[in-house]
Amino acid sequence: TAEQGREGTAADEEVARLAARLDEAALAGRTVPRLTDAVRLDVPAAYRVQRALVERRLARGERLAGVKMGFTSRAKMAQMGVDDVIYGLLTDAMAVEDGGTLDVSALAHPRIEPEVAFLIGTPPGGGPSSPLSPADVERALAGVAVAWEVLDSRYDGFSFTLPDVVADNASAAAFGVGRWLPADGLDPRTLGMVLELDGRTAAVGSSAAVLGDPVRSLIAAARLAEEAGTPLLPGQVVLAGAATAAVALPPGTHARVTAAGLGRVEVTAR
């Protein structure tokens, strides 16, 4: 039997095979059965699949752009029966400039959500044995911005367990950030956020939905990144988590996210 531990249960060849399955499905715009229907996969092994999946993207010339946090609302955590957040990796190919267009034709079930984004200015550190303090966070940050994230799941029927969604890079598909503003002097805890689709309000929430304070999510991002041996780096973006539930984003839809004090960011799906 495979050894259980930080590295998880799967052998390297198995990790590579599972990563290839998810990557090829995403490239072909199709979905696949969840991995856990066929194999035993724990969360540490699922993170190895995630890393291998993203390595395939990097081998095609994409560059690491940051991380996204998932299951940052108590409601979603309870729904999944988990008590920690998860993270996924962002690449530059997932980024869409403000006001740009996003091709959703290759996505299976694209859904958009409003988020707060942080820009790393100096290496924050913050591993499991030395979590970041609010003062460390302030020092490490170069900016804060309003953002959107588009989630897409590579699984049939959009159904998965926790290891499945971790392996599938936490459903990361695309993201966009508005203008970066200085982080000092801005309290990101209770920003009112609105998602409009084609000019109609589709969701309203507060940045407080993100673990009660998006900075907590950033501290968790630093911890998970250090734990994974890939610490957060200057210039990287951290998407802290959703302020509302995710809303379907069909082709032809124009989306605008507004956050009190942070302005707005827009994208059109085609």
CA torsion through residues 262, 85, 45, 152, sign: negative
Is residue 170 near ligand 0L1 by the rule CB under 6 A? yes
Quick one: how far is CA 71 from the chain centroid? 9
Residue of 90, 151, 211, 219 that binds ligand 0L1 (CB under 6 A): 151
Nearer to ligand 0L1, 132 or 242 (CB): 242
Question: What is the smallest separation between the CB atom of 61 and ligand 0L1, expressed in angstroms?
Answer: 25
Nearer to ligand 0L1, 175 or 191 (CB): 175
**What are the phi and psi torsion angles at 114 (to 5°)?**
-80, 140
Classified as helix, coil or strand, 175 is strand
Is residue 207 near ligand 0L1 by the rule CB under 6 A? no
Specify the pairing of strand 254-259 against strand 100-102.
unpaired
Is residue 165 near ligand 0L1 by the rule CB under 6 A? yes
Question: Which has the closest alpha carbon to 165: 225, 60, 76?
Answer: 76
Residue of 161, 171, 236, 244 that binds ligand 0L1 (CB under 6 A): 171
Residue of 31, 50, 91, 153 that binds ligand 0L1 (CB under 6 A): 153
Q: Which stretch binds ligand 0L1 (CB under 6 A): 17-25, 70-78, 182-190, 219-227?
A: 70-78
Nearer to ligand 0L1, 25 or 181 (CB): 25
Is residue 89 near ligand 0L1 by the rule CB under 6 A? no
Is residue 70 near ligand 0L1 by the rule CB under 6 A? yes
Q: Which single residue brings its beta carbon nearest to ligand 0L1? A: 70
Q: Which stretch binds ligand 0L1 (CB under 6 A): 52-60, 165-173, 216-224, 261-269?
A: 165-173
Q: Report how far residue 237's alpha carbon sits from residue 115's, in angstroms, rounded to the nearest whole number.
A: 12
Classified as helix, coil or strand, 80 is helix
Q: Report how far residue 207's alpha carbon sits from residue 247's, in angstroms, rounded to the nearest whole number.
A: 17
Angle at which helix 12-28 crosses helix 43-59, to 10 degrees, equals 60
Give me the residues paired with residue 257 across strands: 195, 265
Write down the residue that tokens 């959107």 correspond to. Answer: 148
Site residues for ligand 0L1 per CB under 6 A = 70-71, 76, 151, 153, 165, 170-171
